[in-house]
Amino acid sequence: METKAPQTVIAPAELGRLVDVLRDGGYQVIGPTIHDGAIVYDEITAATQLPTGWTDVQEAAAYRLERRADEARFGYAVGPHSWKRCLLPPRLRLLRAQRDPDLGFDVREELPPDRPMALLGVRSCELHAIAIQDRILADGRHRDDDYAARREDLFIVAVNCHEPGGTCFCVSMGTGPAVSSGYDLVLSEILDGEHRLLVEAGTSRGRDVLDQLAGRTADLTDREAAAAAVRAAGERMGRTVEAEGLRDLLADNLEHPRWDDVAERCLTCGNCTMVCPTCFCTSVEDVSDLTGETAERWRTWESCFSLDHSHLHGGDVRAAGRSRYRQWLTHKFGTWHDQFGTSGCVGCGRCITWCPVGIDVTEELAAIRADSVSGAASDGRAPKPTGGAAGTADR
């Protein structure tokens, strides 16, 4: 049950104390840090590992870090990692089988980590992504026990976004930039004049942590400054999408010529699905050592852009890149509503930034909508191909 505590103002240096309190409480703290020229999520043991004074510049197929003119701890948008890596690891051993002379094989399932995680720096769009995966992997018909175990004791320190990226469109998707729920603590970084952070607890355990930090009660000036920073971020979104009616729009345009245009550019590399915070497809593979004494079963991330994803007896259902991209986009913005009651996109923009050829989902959706609105086809739909059924393996 969520409870509210008075808002507190802390100095940036107090973030070090926050990390210490969480670690002393038994949490593995995962937060933003810089590796290989990007801001990624990794274990941190001190607040000095945060990307202090750095920001990211993002456009389609472009990402770079730049120094800021201030010492902001959270003055960036989102990097190639999402929190999905923590809750649904890219590669996870499910079980290990060891040959036993008496039992044949001794099979042992992999246990989830016994140390809970604390995620530091979770944006609103990412909280929405976690909520989407919760509905599927923790609360859905096909519960993933490892995901559920990692999620159960998760401590979330959220951050209101004040620095959107060039590919962000969370405002269009109704997922940001302001954090509204799903957190234990939420931070708002204030950079006008005195550098400080406004902190609010969303749960009783969040309040317990907040009580261990040195600070003062927030006043009206603090609250207004924090709210103004979030409003300004909402007005500086790098992209926009007209989200209303996307499900029906895409369903009515399955043979739109824009799919052919995308197919000429798409490498079907699957980058968009790997960086997406809501994509959850996985595959299972069995491996053994050369002696045959040990075998292991591993779960790995899978992508609807791979041929094997749609492979059935007799061949691949979606053999062409055109059909694979169409499957991904129409599912993400369309049929996800049918399955899970929401869009599968939270507007983080990662798929645009990390597409090696710069395919922009907002541009593709706008192009299809423009043709539909202008009546490019007599009934608002692109003409269906002749000489074969729509949606075949080659389409």
pLDDT at 372: 76
Proportion of the chain above pLDDT 70, given as a percent: 93
In 3-state terms the chain splits into helix, strand, coil percentages (rounded to 5) of 30, 25, 45
Q: Does residue 3 fall inside a structural domain?
A: no
Q: Does residue 126 fall inside a structural domain?
A: yes
Residues 80 and 139 in one domain: yes
Q: Residue 290: is it exposed, middle or buried by C-beta count within 10 angstroms (0-12/13-18/19+)?
A: exposed
Q: Does residue 119 fall inside a structural domain?
A: yes
Mean pLDDT across 51-70: 97
pLDDT tier, 381 (very low <50, low <70, confident <90, very high otherwise):
very low
Residues 52 and 117 in one domain: yes
Q: Which two tokens stand for residue 242?
A: 């007209």
- Do 62 and 352 meet the contact criterion of CB atoms below 8 Å apart? no
Q: What residue type is 28 in one-letter code?
A: Q
Residues 23 and 149 in one domain: yes
Residues 152 and 44 in one domain: yes
Helices and strands: H and E segment counts in the chain: 14, 16
Q: Does residue 121 fall inside a structural domain?
A: yes
Q: Does residue 380 fall inside a structural domain?
A: no
Q: Does residue 179 fall inside a structural domain?
A: yes
Q: Does residue 335 fall inside a structural domain?
A: yes
Looking at 184, 210, 234, the residue that finishes a domain is 234
Mean pLDDT across 26-45: 97
What are the start-end ranges of the E strands in the chain? 8-10, 28-35, 38-43, 54-59, 62-67, 91-100, 104-109, 117-122, 155-159, 185-190, 196-201, 216-217, 282-288, 294-301, 311-312, 315-316
Q: Does residue 183 fall inside a structural domain?
A: yes
Residues 316 and 179 in one domain: no
Of the listed ranges 11-15, 28-32, 370-374, the least confidently predicted one is 370-374
pLDDT tier, 374 (very low <50, low <70, confident <90, very high otherwise):
low
Indicate the pTM of the whole model. Answer: 0.90
pLDDT at 373: 65
Residues 173 and 257 in one domain: no
Residues 13 and 37 in one domain: yes
Beta bridge partners of 122: 158
pLDDT per residue as tens digits for the range 150-201: 999 999 999 999 999 999 999 999 999 999 999 999 999 999 989 999 999 9
Residues 6+ apart with CB under 8 A from 104: none
Tell me the C-alpha distance between 191 and 237, whole Å: 19
Residues 22 and 156 in one domain: yes
Looking at 211, 234, 257, the residue that finishes a domain is 234
Residues 51 and 168 in one domain: yes
* Domain around 332: 246-269+305-342+360-374
Residues 314 and 216 in one domain: no
Q: Chain-centre distance of CA 229, in angstroms?
A: 23
Total structural domains within the chain: 2
Residues 228 and 201 in one domain: yes
Residues 192 and 320 in one domain: no
